[in-house]
Copies of this chain bind each other. A is one copy, B any other.
Amino acid sequence: MATKKTEKKDPIAHLSELIHGIKVAMMTTVEEDGTLRSRPMWTHDRDFDGELWFFTREHSPKVDEVERDHHVNLSYSEPGKDRYVSVSGMARLVLDKEKARELWNPTLKAWFPLGVDDPELALLCVTVNKAEYWDTPNKRMVQLVGF
């Protein structure tokens, strides 16, 4: 069974390394009746400084959900590499076209065909409070502290 261990190296740099290359996170939010829902969200593979940014439609169930209850979980899993990361944080809606332009990536056209000028395009900013990951060789869970 997993022994819990706490990591002392810079947690922000370390989390950045852990999720590097995992393009899609499953974001779990809480519905009004307590139901937990998750959906795949495209993650930006750069500039992680304690916050994670996601694109969303401004009017969408997940935005309603995080506006009522800010808690979210982001799970990054890559079974092929046996890499699993859980990130707990608080999400808020950000309407900022400048920031959207800075983060925009053509891959996002699949969900936002109108591009960065889509009037529905908005951002979710997740402030990370806690992160845990599992390293394969001994299947231990490691807690990153210090966010």
Knowing A1-B111, A26-B26 are in contact, say whether A34-B69 is a contact too (CB < 8 A): yes
List the B side residues contacting A84 at CB < 8 Å.
24, 26, 39-40
Kindly state whether residue A73 has any CB partner on chain B within 8 Å.
yes
Contact of A75 among B38, B72, B78 (CB under 8 A): B38
List the B side residues contacting A120 at CB < 8 Å.
1
Residues of A that sit less than 8 Å from B by CB: 1-2, 22-24, 26, 28, 30, 34-40, 57, 60, 69, 71-73, 75, 77-80, 84, 86, 88, 110-113, 120, 129-130, 132, 134, 139, 141
List the B side residues contacting A71 at CB < 8 Å.
30, 34-36
B28 near A38 with CB under 8 A, answer yes
Nearest CB on B from A107, distance (A): 11
List the B side residues contacting A40 at CB < 8 Å.
77, 84, 134
B1 near A57 with CB under 8 A, answer yes
Show 14 residue pairs from A and B whose CB-CB distance is below 8 angstroms, ordered by the A residue. A1-B57, A1-B112, A28-B28, A28-B36, A28-B38, A28-B73, A30-B71, A35-B71, A35-B88, A36-B72, A38-B73, A40-B77, A40-B134, A111-B139
Knowing A1-B111, A111-B1 are in contact, say whether A37-B79 is a contact too (CB < 8 A): no
- Name the residue of chain B whose CB is nearest to the CB of A27: B75
List the B side residues contacting A129 at CB < 8 Å.
35
